Structure 1
């Protein structure tokens, strides 16, 4: 039975297996699935990765390519499907940044310092809030995939640090609203939050 407004958050490092596991998970949530792809392929490597993702998805899934207006896409398809997979939050934030502030793609240290970083953060995180609200109000279950980018070294360039901080805050916002949160490590999903456990004052952190 579909649970209205259920939000599941799946995060992990690059090549952790998070997308593959999220696809397996959402396949168990319903037969009618919408795959919201946020990627804009910018080079041959990204094109090849997109093809791999496309080939392993079931043919009956509805694919919606939406690099920017993801919240609206959720609202548009929710009544037609049982579950929605958004892959991924990471690339969506990149798209939002470069669409609203194209100068960031060419900015050097001095130019970054002159930008209103608080304005940028409020703009991007406001869109994250809209997406979370759309997911929670959806008639379909929603699974969001993202990357953990704060576990490595501090980026050596200003845009990298700005992006890392934004994604970290966005991940926190989604996780706080989610009913379930999974961290995928080496292909293994670790449940780190479950709504029932939270209500009972228990801790997650068990393998599933």
Structure 2
């Protein structure tokens, strides 16, 4: 089993840049897994994607994996560092799934992360620090991502919180609270 790292934080905090720095420090080949879908009609989204692409080393292999993340992670070898950016966009791409299918996806992802053979760096957005979403789908996104991030943090080796350009190692500074269990009534954690 390799080293598994979670990097989480709010929008524009520096979490992707920190994850990229961690990947660049590895002696292994880097595989960058982009979970976003390309939205040609969204200029702001295209600018974000372009900024991420420009920061990547030209030697890094890029895989665009908007939905099949658990399956793709199982292809890794010990000689590789995989950087997944980000879990939030993966959750958004799976948002229309029923609770039963979503819970199965989460189990498959956790099962792919736990025995990961190389270095795995996962980026996750923190969405629950602000206003309560006005729409049910927004609440589902916030709750699913929050629960997933917590479950991932429970099984990785290192968890960083990035805020205002500072990375804090939560395993050194904090105390792990048990990962949430799905709620029997709703299937949500």
Q: TM-score, normalised by structure 1?
A: 0.78
Match for residue 17 of structure 2?
Answer: 20
1:162 paired to 2:160: no
**Distance in 2 between residues matched to 1:163 and 1:75, nearest whole Å:** 25
**Distance in 2 between residues matched to 1:97 and 1:41, nearest whole Å:** 17
Match for residue 137 of structure 1?
Answer: 115
Q: Aligned-pair distance for 1:49? A: 1.1
Instruction: Give per-residue Cα distances to partners, 1:11-48, cap 9 Å, x unaligned.
Output: 00000110011000111123401001000022221112
User: In 1, are the aligned partners of 2:78 and 2:119 still within 8 Å (CA)?
Assistant: no
Larger Rg: 1
User: In 2, are the aligned partners of 1:68 and 1:96 still within 8 Å (CA)?
Assistant: yes
Q: Aligned-pair distance for 1:135? A: 2.1
**Matching of residues 36-115 of structure 1 within 5 Å:** 36-42=33-39, 43-76=42-75, 78-79=76-77, 81-98=79-96, 100=97
Q: Aligned-pair distance for 1:149? A: 0.7
Structure having the larger proportion of residues in helix: 1
- Say which SS state the counterpart of residue 16 (structure 1) adopts: coil
Q: Aligned-pair distance for 1:123? A: 2.2
Q: TM-score, normalised by structure 2?
A: 0.85
User: In 1, are the aligned partners of 2:2 and 2:78 still within 8 Å (CA)?
Assistant: no
Instruction: Give per-residue Cα distances to partners, 1:39-61, cap 9 Å, x unaligned.
Output: 00222211121111111100111
- Out of 126, 129, 147, the position equivalent to 1:151 is 129
CA RMSD of the aligned region, Å? Answer: 1.7
Q: Aligned-pair distance for 1:80? A: 7.2
**Distance in 1 between residues matched to 2:20 and 2:150, nearest whole Å:** 22
**Matching of residues 115-130 of structure 1 within 5 Å:** 120-130=98-108
- Say which SS state the counterpart of residue 167 (structure 2) adopts: strand
